[in-house]
Amino acid sequence: MNRDFDTATVGEIVTSDFRAAAVFERFSIDFCCGGKRSLADACVTAQADRVAVLDALRVATSDAAAPGDADAARWSVDRLIDHIVDTHHAYVRASLPRIAQHLEKLVSAHGERHPELTGVAAAFAEVAAELAQHMMKEEQILFPYVRDLAEHAALRPCGGLVSPFGTIENPIRMMEREHRDAGDGLQSIRTLTRGYTTPDDGCRTYRVTMEELAEFERDLHRHIHLENNILFPEAIALERRFA
């Protein structure tokens, strides 16, 4: 990958080598919704030591490091959308009811001693409702149009594809705003749980639920990164070929 980290945005760094995602997560650096920021700005926002982040990035993305996920930036539009839907959307749909059920149990069993759990459950319910609608709009409206754009581009002739949006940038802006809302919701949960920490009096279900929430946030970061930093820019570029 391009290791000139200081001149690339955090989104570009992860796009070039997905192994960088684990580093950014370790330092609480937002590479999905905040992917357009420089590394220096992102470190300031996360109150992370820039030198330590740079050292960790160089180690994680070195040729000797274990290979990370496939380079999604090189995937076709169809493959990328299939991966987002089959991996990330499927994970969200499977996780939402399970985590909500566990949170309900925690509020019932531990809510008196840990009143913050009521806020956690409410914030997660809001994120769940928003993500359910968000994914439906992507799968039924936005993604089919992006597939059509890619198909028309492959066939070469320009024209003949009528956008229902005026420009695809309109729904993309909406999707990005909803991504920020989901990220903010998870951040509030992270704060309420002190980084998904199980208290000393927490039971096994408490520990499992904190681990589930932490994994849900990690998956959401990767999910949003694939859309904001790879799929959406490609869709905009494809549409402009027909302008």
Please name the amino acid found at residue 233: P
Beta bridge partners of 120: none
Q: Tell me: the pLDDT tens digits for 169-197?
A: 999 999 999 999 999 999 999 999 999 99
Q: Is the dihedral of CA 208, 88, 8, 174 positive or negative?
A: negative
Looking at residue 68, its pLDDT comes to 40
Looking at residue 11, its pLDDT comes to 85
Q: Which residue positions in the chain have pLDDT lower than 70?
A: 1-3, 18, 62-70, 156-161, 243
Long-range contacts of 109-112 (CB under 8 A, 24+ apart): 109/203, 109/205, 110/201, 110/202, 110/203, 110/206
Beta-carbon contacts of 196 under 8 Å, excluding residues fewer than 6 positions away, are: 190, 210, 211, 213, 214
